[in-house]
Amino acid sequence: MDNELKYQLIQFIREEIGEFNIDITDTTELENDLGVTGDDGRDLILKYANVFNVEISGFVFAKYFYPEPSVFSNFQPISSLNIAKLLDGIREGKLS
């Protein structure tokens, strides 16, 4: 079941970002490795929550995704959000 769930998650990520040619593993990070950032990150997590029935009410988007670029941007460091964490969110029914 875990391998099937991981496969479904990776396929979901690939379809959402339109990337089918790179290797995606447990340690692949959405922001740093796949380039999912800002509003795209928010959209992906909202759809992930809906598709996989994951509660995200406590999820802080700014903790894991840089904001949209602007001339006034002063980016703070972000935390890693990788495939393993998304899988844990599906198993637990909650991502925070």
**66: phi > 0 → left, psi -120 to 50 → alpha, else beta; which?**
beta
pLDDT tens per residue, range 39-95: 999 999 999 999 999 999 999 998 999 887 655 556 678 899 999 999 999 999 999
Rounded-to-integer distance, Cα 89 and Cα 86, Å: 5
Rounded-to-integer distance, Cα 9 and Cα 53, Å: 12
Helix (H) or strand (E) holding 45: helix 38-52
58 within 8 A of 6, measured Cβ to Cβ: no
